[in-house]
Amino acid sequence: MTTVELGRYMSSLRNIKGYTKPELAEKSNIPVRTIERLEHGENVTIDVFLSLLKVLGFKLVIESEDGE
């Protein structure tokens, strides 16, 4: 997944949950500009990404391709 695809996905999750960017920023204590950068495909730290997922009610799961 590219950063642009990830940004689109995060924007979709935010919209599904019904949050505006300012609302998500307030709930996550992450600046609106950082959320905008993420949603436009720019790099953000993993901490920012995980914090936003948590506020949106999701978590990151990493699995190996061979199922182990």
Residue 63 lies in a domain: no
Residue 14 lies in a domain: yes
Range of the domain at 35: 3-56
The reported pTM is 0.86
Q: Which of 17, 15, 35 is nearest to 26 (CA)?
A: 35
3-35 pLDDT, tens digit per residue, is: 999 999 999 999 999 999 999 999 999 999 999
What separation, in Å, do the N-terminal and C-terminal C-alpha atoms of the chain show? 21
Residue 68 lies in a domain: no
- Say how far apart CA 33 and CA 66 lie, in whole Å: 38
Residue 13 lies in a domain: yes
Angle CA 9–25–47, to nearest 5: 65
